[in-house]
Amino acid sequence: MNKKSIKLRVIFMGTSSFADKILTALLVAEYNIIGVYTQADKKVGREQKLEKSAVKITAENNKITVFSPAKFGEIEIKELAGQKPDLIIVAAYGKILPKAVLDMPGFGAINTHASLLPNYRGPSPIQNAILDGEKETGVTIMLMDEGIDTGAILSQKKTKIAPCETSVELTERLADLSSELLLETIPFWVKRKIKSKPQNNSKATLCQLIERSDGKVFWMNDAAAIYNQYRAFFSWPGIFTFWERDDFNARVKLNKIALAEKGFSEKKYRIGEIFKVEDRIAIQTGEGIIFLEEIQMEGKNNMKISDFINGNPELIGSILK
């Protein structure tokens, strides 16, 4: 690592575990992180306890000053300018930076984005790539401008998406890939050995914002699309359906499912119907079948489907909505 690059006065901005991996890599490489900006502590759980971001915990453990401004107004911008940053590095921060902040450091503000820009601009590129059944993605290091992920590209690196890979697993890999690419890119950028390349806006695609309601399964969709939904929303928000029981609909989370091979079941059942295939429990979709492996009734613990069927045999033959 070039000594000059390490002596840069760097401000890091990020919040998630993805960002934390990148911050950790910069610290291991002995970059001079003079301040960290992250989202304010959030209330979580039934007891609404305040929880620090992963980035804040790492910063505090390394005795780095942490800032959590609600916005970048005149006071906050002046405070940032007083730190005299040479470079700002942003990763999954969750806030839009004003032009005054972007223009502040001599080497600009650079962002690590988990897609091959201009594809999947926006806040959830990993989930959206899996939802769309993409077989390849990657990471982009870019100069930030006032748009949403519209800045000029400094470097990119591709990677394959495994057929069964969840968003959690892919996020881990892309965080590592981003860290490697960022550490390769910074020395070349500060020595002016690479030039930024503008994005082709005509080829840009945008991410949909993921909400809890997006986890609802529509069984008329084909099995591959439903399995991609499961992979994309694994951990959060998860996928769910409704089981009609007597006079109410029970909300059921599908915590683990598997995609059956084409032609596994020749018989066509009603869409959403649960049935047995040998020793497995399956659901008929608009095209193909999905195997249930673990489910969770609302307010109850997660259960293996075999254990659930033992106590609720009437699930077989019912229709999920």
Contacts of 169 (CB under 8 A, 6+ apart): 162
Start-end ranges of CATH 3.40.50.170 in the chain?
3-203
The superfamily (CATH) of domain 3-203 is Formyl transferase, N-terminal domain (3.40.50.170)
Intervals of CATH 3.10.25.10 along the chain: 212-315
- The pLDDT tens digits for 191-225 are 999 999 999 999 999 998 999 999 999 999 999 99
Element housing 112 (H / E): strand 109-113
Could you read off the pLDDT of 19-32 as tens digits, one per residue? 999 999 999 999 99
Burial 29-65 (b: 16+ CB within 10 A, else e): eebebbbbbbbeeeeeeeeeeeebbbbbebbeeeebe
pTM recorded for the entire structure: 0.93
Q: Give the DSSP H or E segment for 240.
A: strand 240-245
Other CB atoms within a 10 A radius of the CB of residue 277 amount to: 13
Rounded (5°) CA angle 300-277-318: 50
Looking at residue 265, what is its pLDDT?
Answer: 65
The CATH classification number of 212-315 equals 3.10.25.10
